[in-house]
Amino acid sequence: MFDFSIVTQWIDAFLRTYLPEWGALLIEFVLIGVALLLLYALIALALIYGERKICAFFQCRLGPNRVGPLGLFQSVADMVKILIKELIDIKHNDKFLFNLAPYLVILSSMLAFGCLPFGRGLQVIDFNIGVFFIMAVSSIGVLGILLAGWSSNNKFTLVGAMRSGAQMISYELSIGLSMLSVVVFAGTMQTTQLVAAQQSGWFIFTGHIPMLIAFVIYLIAGTAETNRGPFDLPEAESELTAGYHTEYSGIHFGFYYLAEYLNLFIVSGIASLLFLGGWAPLHIGNWTAFNTVMDYIPSVIWFFGKTAVVMFIIMWFKWTFPRLRIDQLLHLEWKYLVPIGFVNLLLVVLITIFNLHF
């Protein structure tokens, strides 16, 4: 399997040959930033188109089919439309916080996005506390949502922001318990080590029933964390117009729109990292020939393929289940998911201590 670190090390050595260390580092930082931004935008456009087509499939429609072949350029047309829209100045709002809020949401999304291992040797951030870092930076997004709702000076945005704050803070606990279960099982928080620990078998297969339970809890909590249906109460159009971003227009609304879809990708990417081996290929015991064939598939395809499967499941949730009430949403978290998550974490600890796994 090709190791992308060969390419990155060659670029680093080439730059250091002709530039001082600070110059080489500066160019590398710029290149990485531009690459992340381009990938961020392209994935968001692809997901917008993909969800429209999947939604249409579930509802027996065609979806986008006019702008470009098979409607492929519809997302691009919408992006251009958003970029050229006027930024409307709202009266009687807190202008500084109102303008700051979208950038906090994008900042949180971008920092978590940079932690994903897209392939072997293809990762921007690889701390020894990688899982903890992901949990920390992903929590910044709720600040942007709360600031947007409060600073807009609008009752609909405030209700949407309070709903979102209660929802995201609550379901972060279940996500944390699921991620802790994996950390205990693997014995590391470093993302590259998590992938390495799954080379001989993905955790969802080798971790017995507790790891499967942690995966299901993560899927439910991750769907709620991204404010997607059936947990889309903060943006309930029939009740709150557009929720916390009702007063936003132009590029500021575009930031929220992009972050929603990229958060879907990030949640799915973390699920593939924690439970499905990240970019690690599927290996089965002593099936040497099968394992060799799997190794020929590029690591990038493995990661994006697993992430796409998880994203499809989350989209399936949205277009299948009706929207929950706020009391049902919080009851599900505090009365069911949190107790199950704690008991499941205890089971994972026992399995790890007594070495009961495969």
pLDDT of residue 216: 94
- Average pLDDT on 221-225 reads 90
pLDDT band at 292 (very low <50, low <70, confident <90, very high): confident
Mean pLDDT computed over every residue of the chain: 87
pLDDT band at 269 (very low <50, low <70, confident <90, very high): very high
User: In whole angstroms, what separates CA 144 from the centre of its chain?
Assistant: 17
- Average pLDDT on 69-90 reads 86
d(CA 294, CA 73): 34
pLDDT of residue 213: 94
pLDDT of residue 181: 93
pLDDT of residue 159: 83
Is pLDDT above 70 for 237?
no
pLDDT of residue 342: 94
pTM over 0.85: yes
Interval 127-168: pLDDT, tens = 888 899 999 998 888 888 888 888 888 888 888 888 888 888
pLDDT of residue 240: 66
pLDDT band at 126 (very low <50, low <70, confident <90, very high): confident
- Average pLDDT on 6-24 reads 88
The helix/strand/coil state of 319 is coil
pLDDT of residue 236: 66
pLDDT band at 357 (very low <50, low <70, confident <90, very high): low
Core vs surface per residue 129-151: b (16+ CB within 10 A) or e: ebbebbbebbbebbbbbbbbbbb
- Average pLDDT on 221-249 reads 78
Is pLDDT above 60 for 358?
no
DSSP 107-129: HHHHHHHTTS--BTTB-S---TT
Asked whether the beta carbons of 263 and 276 are under 8 A apart, the reply is no
Interval 95-124: pLDDT, tens = 888 889 889 988 998 899 888 999 888 888
Distances (CA, A) of 194 to 38, 111, 157, 317: 27, 19, 40, 28
- Average pLDDT on 162-185 reads 90
pLDDT band at 351 (very low <50, low <70, confident <90, very high): confident
pLDDT of residue 238: 66
Asked whether the beta carbons of 20 and 98 are under 8 A apart, the reply is no
pLDDT of residue 243: 73
pLDDT of residue 311: 93
What residues does each domain of the chain span?
89-353
DSSP 320-352: TSPPPPHHHHHHIIIIIIHHHHHHHHHHHHHHH
- Average pLDDT on 330-336 reads 91
pLDDT of residue 30: 92
> How many percent of the chain have pLDDT more than 70?
97
Nearest to 281 by CA among 302, 263, 250, 262: 302
